[in-house]
Amino acid sequence: MAQMLMHQTCPKCFKESWSTVDRDAWNAWQDGALIQEAFPDLTASEREAIMTGYDQQCWEEIFGKEEE
């Protein structure tokens, strides 16, 4: 399983972060798979960070706390 390192900057607070994701999952998402299907093991907020860059705190301020 090949991994890739992603750099994100939150558009709300400008905090920078790095995430490691599976390259095949990334490619599947880029090719049109739904993000929840490409990354089923990630939380909704982790997938949001991949899509938009929002970090956990800002994600919760905007969208509310994630349900367990």
Q: Give the pLDDT confidence of 21-52 residue by residue, as tens digits.
A: 999 999 999 999 999 999 999 988 789 889 99
- Are the CB atoms for 29 and 35 separated by under 8 Å? yes
The rounded distance, in Å, linking the Cα atoms of 26 and 41 is: 13
User: Between these two residues, 48 and 67, which has the higher pLDDT value?
Assistant: 48
Chain centroid to Cα 54, Å, comes to 8
**pLDDT at residue 28, rounded to an integer:** 96
**pLDDT at residue 37, rounded to an integer:** 97
**pTM of the predicted protein model:** 0.76
Band of residue 66 on the pLDDT scale cut at 50, 70, 90: low
At 25, list the tokens: 């999952």
